[in-house]
Structure 1
Amino acid sequence: MTCFVRGGRFLLWETTVVPEDFLTGDRRPLTTVLGANFVSITGNCLTYMGVPWFVLQSTDSAAKVGIVAFCTLLPVVLAALVGGPVIDRIGRRRVSVASDLACGVAVAAIPLLQFAGILHFWMLCVLMAMTGLFRSPGETARGVLLPTLAERAAMPLTRAAGLYDGAARCAALTGSALGGVLIAVLGAENVLLVDAATFAVAAPLFAFGVRGLPEAQARRRVEPASLRAYRRELAEGYRFVAATPLLLGLCLMTLVTRGLDQGWSAVLLPVHAREKLDGSIDLGLLNAAFGICALTGALVYGAVGSRFRRWPVFTVAFLIVGLPRFVVAAFTDTFGPLAVIMAVEGLACGVLNPIMATVTYETVPEALRSRVLSATTASVQLVTPLGGLAAGFLVDSVGLPSTLLTIGGVYLLATLCPVIFPAWRQMDSTGSPHDRAEGSLPQSSGSKRV
């Protein structure tokens, strides 16, 4: 039992023995994993820019762009629905490495088949489905290690979550900026070859970074693998989410917003850039503006976020992120206003993932993280495959401006949930005294360890 003296009050907190490497602050595993995640996400961004542009160029159909997005994201949901126990049994290190290698092979096959003159639309859908199937387990396997890596680095979880999201945002920025330029210079097919190479780099980098880390290896279980044991382990993750009102609320709200965001990024923004702006260059610049500011927001929150209450910051940020971009895109056909609003929304968006990640990691026990994070990933992405599909058909049916306003209105309703429902205020009470203390260790900044 550890006693913290803060502000004249004694706070009791149940702890385990602090490992030696926590005290020495070994940041090499965290740094290496951040680098591997950066490379992997950069590749994903190149894919999700190159493929929609390739489909638009070859078919001139927003609906087919939506179909490809649906085929990509449906396997993501299916893999997340059932993947948690598999990650625990196979091991987080093996799953992440296999995920990157499989995605690289699938992405490389698209341009190679195109160059051979035998790529059909259904083949493209199948290959993109393969990338979605393997992407989700790999991302989950890397994400659940963050609390362990933060502990080994002697770093508060809030700061580590900010760095993790910042690396992802930086990768999205890099991929978006490079994607728009490379598509214009090299063509979408050659960009996908560059993308495949990024996965070949990310896989061994992650394997090196977490070697010897017990939490990255397969869990040793007395009970042999069986369908009954698998179902029970799978159900544990979903029961935990259902029994935790805050996690359940996060899942339900982000279920809606992720679907709407997918419609925006996969269909609405590319179509708007093609019809109203200067094509792929403006598309890349808009994504870069959003990415730069989102990266800034994530890093700033990682540095100073522990000083502020989470619920009001989260609520205001989500309201900013939602409706404005849809309204601006619907009523203007110039680059400047949309670039400004996406930059502002990027700053707000940068704080969302670190807050949600910190709350989740503080709430979920380590032994359940793979299963709970798989369950939450599946839950929030249940309608994501439909986002691009619905947006594509809406654009073809009622036009781009009407679709933008409709989806923006639904987004506004979803982001009002933290204002209306009281469970969201629990965001400010999930952390331990250790994580909310100033500095890395409980002894620092006015906390006395007895």
Structure 2
Amino acid sequence: MTLPLPGLGAFRHRNFALFGAANFLATIAMQMQAVAIGWQVYDLTGSPFRLGMIGLAEFTPAIGLALLVGPVADRFDRRRIMLLALGGEAICALGLLFLAVSGHAAFWPILSIAFCFGVARAFVAPASRSMMPSLVPPELLNNAVAWSSVSWQVATIGGPALGGFIYLAGPDAAYGTAALAIVAAIGMIALVRYRRAADSIRRVAIKAKDVLGGLHLIFNHQVLLGAISLDLFAVLFSSAIPLLPVFAKDVLHTGPEGLGLLRAAAGVGAVTTALYLTQRPIRHHAGRILFTCVGLFGLCVITFGLSQSFWLSLGALFCGGACDMVSVYIRGTVVPLATPDHLRGRVMAVEAVFVGASNELGAFWAGSMASLIGAVPAVVLGGSATILVVLSFTRLFRKLAKVDKLDTETLGFSEVALGDKVTPAGVA
């Protein structure tokens, strides 16, 4: 069946359509559950610190298991890993539902379940991202990345709102809906027809030396290291989002409704740009566009920091989200194409930690700097640091800056039949 609309090439492939829908439902469920846990924990404890503990419990497994989940995704069937891990997420949602219905909800049981959910989620991420490139032809990978980005952004914007609305009926309604969404996602993944090449599986038996294979490849491949680390430092220094309540109240003099618009602006900019990229993919000068957009992202952050106009601030956040989406799009295409299939799980696991750490550490950096020098100087300094990173990385990672097309011919590996050894085109 041929879809008549332009830019829907990836959805012509049944397996990707099922995969994309499953990821959308799983992300919606995660966002709804996060909102429900936050409200319930704060109602139970009245402690912002314990809210922070919940976030830490969900993120810690991604770091602690980073060196394990990658080799697992490379050694075993990635579809089965997703099924098992999503099954674990469903059990966690059902556990939260039981606590809510039985009246035994308390902080420590909820914290324990949040940690278990983080463990399951840690296995989903590398298996999912490693599996996607095999569901579409290489020439449609950038289209698949763009639509996946749209799906994720819509889910992260709409999920919390939907979760908050459902929570009005009680935490049991929110947890039950999340569990149903995850079960539906499991059903869709079960229908995906996915088979890895036998030689790809045979060459990756889990050994001690293989656990660090992803790190070894990244640090010896200039394009991979540049793409991942550029995003890490850009987000680390330019995390203005955690300070939005401060800007809304003390700088822009608006209320909760204004804060809601500010928080949504970056996501709307990202979704708009991702939709545009599904219709007009980047065909040339990808490296140059990447560095330009990250630099513009830093400039948007500076503009937001200096602005005293609500509408200018809103526009700066919208444009910043748009620039960030271009970076996500290019990195999301570069990393899988520049990584051989038998190492993809390990590389994706490391990348997930880098991205997650940049968000968590970025929030800490923003809060710490704001407490030392004030919110406005902290944001302006962060945006300026991002621009300096771009200027320095342009020289440090010349091969990334010179990447033209996002295709296997430009980024792919020239493999050598010597066990696990490969000779990548972009190795420094």
Does the alignment reach a TM-score above 0.5?
A: yes
Q: Is the 8 A contact 1:107 1:128 kept in 2?
A: no
Question: Structure 1, residues 272-324: CA drift from partner, whole Å, max 9, x if none?
Answer: 67996544x65554444433331221132233223341123212322333463
What amino acid does structure 2 have at the position aligned with 1:160? A
Q: 1:177 to 1:410 in 2, by over 3 A?
A: farther
Structure 2 match to 1:79: 65
Q: Is the 8 A contact 1:110 1:124 kept in 2?
A: yes
Structure 2 match to 1:206: 189
Asked if 1:302 is matched to 2:278, the reply is yes
Structure 2 match to 1:129: 115
Where does structure 1 lack aligned partners over 5 or more consecutive residues? 1-24, 437-450
Structure 2 match to 1:194: 177
Question: Structure 1, residues 404-437: CA drift from partner, whole Å, max 9, x if none?
Answer: 556555555445454443243143266345999x
What amino acid does structure 1 have at the position aligned with 2:84? A
Q: Is the 8 A contact 1:85 1:371 kept in 2?
A: yes
Q: 1:402 to 1:55 in 2, by over 3 A?
A: farther
Local SS of the residue matching 1:215? coil
Structure 2 match to 1:369: 344
The offset of 1:52, in angstroms, is: 4.4
Local SS of the residue matching 2:400? helix
Q: Is the 8 A contact 1:67 1:388 kept in 2?
A: no
The offset of 1:232, in angstroms, is: 2.6
What amino acid does structure 2 have at the position aligned with 1:345? G
Question: Structure 1, residues 147-186: CA drift from partner, whole Å, max 9, x if none?
Answer: 22111xx853222222222222232233244345556x45
The offset of 1:67, in angstroms, is: 3.4
The offset of 1:72, in angstroms, is: 1.9
Q: 1:390 to 1:354 in 2, by over 3 A?
A: closer
Structure 1 match to 2:135: 149
Superposition map of 1:167-178 within 5 A:
167-178=151-162
Bigger drift between 46-55 and 165-174 goes to 46-55
Whole-Å separation in 2 of the counterparts to 1:354 and 1:274: 33
| Equivalent of 2:304 in 309, 328, 341 | 328
Whole-Å separation in 1 of the counterparts to 2:246 and 2:198: 44
Structure 2 match to 1:160: 144
Relative contact order, CA 8 A, sep 6+: which one is greater?
1
| Equivalent of 1:249 in 226, 229, 236 | 226
The offset of 1:246, in angstroms, is: 1.8
Q: Is the 8 A contact 2:33 2:175 kept in 1?
A: yes
Whole-Å separation in 1 of the counterparts to 2:124 and 2:108: 25
Structure 1 match to 2:217: 240
What amino acid does structure 1 have at the position aligned with 2:293? A
Whole-Å separation in 1 of the counterparts to 2:159 and 2:319: 20
What amino acid does structure 2 have at the position aligned with 1:104? A
Local SS of the residue matching 1:376? helix
Asked if 1:34 is matched to 2:15, the reply is no
Q: Identity of aligned pairs, percent?
A: 23
Whole-Å separation in 1 of the counterparts to 2:339 and 2:297: 27
Q: Is the 8 A contact 1:50 1:189 kept in 2?
A: no
Question: Structure 1, residues 231-278: CA drift from partner, whole Å, max 9, x if none?
Answer: 2322322221111012112232333345567x655x444676799654
The offset of 1:128, in angstroms, is: 2.3
Q: Is the 8 A contact 2:291 2:401 kept in 1?
A: no
Whole-Å separation in 2 of the counterparts to 1:434 and 1:121: 51
Q: 1:343 to 1:164 in 2, by over 3 A?
A: same
The offset of 1:38, in angstroms, is: 1.2
Bigger drift between 66-75 and 198-207 goes to 66-75
Whole-Å separation in 2 of the counterparts to 1:196 and 1:218: 37
Structure 2 match to 1:109: 95
Whole-Å separation in 1 of the counterparts to 2:64 and 2:79: 21
**How many corresponding residue pairs?**
399
| Equivalent of 2:86 in 100, 105, 111 | 100
What amino acid does structure 2 have at the position aligned with 1:298? A
Structure 1 match to 2:423: none
Whole-Å separation in 2 of the counterparts to 1:383 and 1:233: 25
Asked if 1:360 is matched to 2:335, the reply is yes
Question: Structure 1, residues 6-60: CA drift from partner, whole Å, max 9, x if none?
Answer: xxxxxxxxxxxxxxxxxxx961111111111111122223344444455566656
Bigger drift between 292-301 and 113-122 goes to 113-122
Q: 1:69 to 1:297 in 2, by over 3 A?
A: same
Whole-Å separation in 2 of the counterparts to 1:435 and 1:258: 25
Where does structure 2 lack aligned partners over 5 or more consecutive residues? 1-10, 413-428
Q: 1:27 to 1:81 in 2, by over 3 A?
A: same
Asked if 1:316 is matched to 2:292, the reply is yes
The offset of 1:355, in angstroms, is: 0.7
Structure 2 match to 1:70: 56
What amino acid does structure 1 have at the position aligned with 2:63? V
Asked if 1:341 is matched to 2:330, the reply is no
Whole-Å separation in 1 of the counterparts to 2:172 and 2:381: 34
Local SS of the residue matching 2:202? coil
What amino acid does structure 1 have at the position aligned with 2:178? D
Structure 2 match to 1:11: none
The offset of 1:96, in angstroms, is: 1.0
Q: Is the 8 A contact 1:77 1:378 kept in 2?
A: yes
Q: 1:139 to 1:57 in 2, by over 3 A?
A: same
Q: Is the 8 A contact 1:70 1:385 kept in 2?
A: no
Local SS of the residue matching 2:85? helix
What amino acid does structure 1 have at the position aligned with 2:32? L
Q: Is the 8 A contact 2:203 2:342 kept in 1?
A: no
Whole-Å separation in 2 of the counterparts to 1:90 and 1:143: 14
Whole-Å separation in 2 of the counterparts to 1:28 and 1:77: 33
Q: Is the 8 A contact 2:283 2:406 kept in 1?
A: no
Bigger drift between 306-315 and 90-99 goes to 306-315
Whole-Å separation in 2 of the counterparts to 1:145 and 1:60: 41
| Equivalent of 1:350 in 318, 325, 330 | 325
Q: Is the 8 A contact 1:180 1:284 kept in 2?
A: no
The offset of 1:93, in angstroms, is: 0.7
Q: 1:381 to 1:180 in 2, by over 3 A?
A: same
Whole-Å separation in 2 of the counterparts to 1:59 and 1:327: 38
Q: Is the 8 A contact 1:72 1:385 kept in 2?
A: no
